[in-house]
Amino acid sequence: MLKVSGAQNVLFSHDVHAGRSRVGCKECHYAIYTTRVNHRTATMDEMKKGKSCGACHNGTRAFNVTDAQQCSRCHNQ
């Protein structure tokens, strides 16, 4: 669970990303995300610039983090 200020929290599903979507481990670890100790949550502005979730959720590879109609797909908790 990622705590979000000003919006509903985000429940990240490793199964959806690594299982059903077949994203390879190295695509996120450690290219986008560092170790658990060094990881920090990115802001929506950072994601819109391709950081964190925005690296794939850019409207090409996966739905875009800037698409307001998609907010509830992540912010559902």
What's the pLDDT at 34?
Answer: 67
Asked if the structure places residue 6 within a domain, the reply is no
pLDDT category at 38 given cuts 50, 70, 90 is low
Which are the contacts of 10, defined by CB distance < 8 A and separation ≥ 6?
A: 1, 2, 4, 74, 75, 76, 77
Asked if the structure places residue 53 within a domain, the reply is yes
For 10, phi then psi, to 5°, come to -115, 130
Q: How far is CA 9 from the centre of its chain?
A: 12
Q: What is the pTM of this model?
A: 0.79
44-70: pLDDT as tens digits: 999 999 988 999 999 999 999 999 999
What's the pLDDT at 50?
Answer: 92
- Closest Cα to residue 55, out of 21, 22, 28, 37? 28
Q: In terms of residue numbers, what domain contains 56?
A: 14-74
Residue 64's domain is classified under what CATH number? Answer: 3.90.10.10
Percent of the chain at pLDDT exceeding 70: 90
Mean pLDDT of the chain: 84
Asked if the structure places residue 61 within a domain, the reply is yes
